[in-house]
Amino acid sequence: MSARQDSKGSSEARPQVRIQDFYSDYLPPFDARAVVARLIDAVPAKYLRRLDAIVLTNQGSLSRDRRRSPTMSRKRKVRIRDAAGLYHQEWQGKPAWIEVFVDRIIGDSERSVRWRIPLVREMFVGEVVYHELGHHVHKVLRPEFREREDVADDWSTRFLSAYIRRNYWYLLPVAYLIKLVLRVGRALGLVKPD
């Protein structure tokens, strides 16, 4: 474990979250492990406590029974084959871990040029990784009495926004300018509202 300085100057041990690849007859079009490592490195240490690993895998590595087995999402059953990621909470002495189905994130656009753009792949992968991390934060550190998927979505947005501000700060003025042009365009009737 390494020590890291927080904003108040005190050092605390940063939890080591293992990132593992476990693919079956599949190779993602980019280094998913490196993307997840960058995403996790940007998360404050307190949110990683008691999280053991993030496993990057594909649907083909799951047994038929597991692909067909259900998980709960927004108070209804969803098959695991339709999920892009799963959070596995601590259970019977085993630590919490996250499972990410990289092939579900990429979908049919494996050969798309967008996977060559770091910001794009970090946003797509980050949305899933941070959503599942949001489940961990909700379960272990900050329980809330709201729909758990909504809480995870809020944490995902928070973590992803902080990541973009930290790593792509130079794009924020451009994003602000685009937002301003769209707002003026809508006000003048030149752009259709969402």
Task: Summarize pLDDT for 129-144 with one digit per residue, the tens.
Answer: 999 999 999 998 887 8
The phi, psi pair for 96, rounded to 5°, reads -70, 150
Q: What is the pLDDT of residue 194?
A: 62
On whether the CB atoms of residues 41 and 33 are closer than 8 A, the answer is no
On whether the CB atoms of residues 105 and 128 are closer than 8 A, the answer is yes
The phi, psi pair for 76, rounded to 5°, reads -145, 155
With cut-offs at 50, 70 and 90, classify the pLDDT of residue 14: confident
Top-confidence range, 107-116, 165-174, 180-189 = 165-174
With cut-offs at 50, 70 and 90, classify the pLDDT of residue 11: low
With cut-offs at 50, 70 and 90, classify the pLDDT of residue 188: confident
pTM listed for this prediction: 0.81
The percentage of residues in the chain with a pLDDT greater than 70, rounded to a whole number, is: 89
Q: Could you give the CA distance from residue 18 to residue 16 in angstroms, rounded to a whole number?
A: 6
Q: What is the pLDDT of residue 3?
A: 47
Range of weakest confidence among 4-13, 45-54, 171-180: 4-13
Q: Could you give the CA distance from residue 41 to residue 54 in angstroms, rounded to a whole number?
A: 13
Range of weakest confidence among 73-87, 104-118, 149-163, 168-182: 73-87
Q: What is the pLDDT of residue 36?
A: 97
Q: What is the pLDDT of residue 156?
A: 94
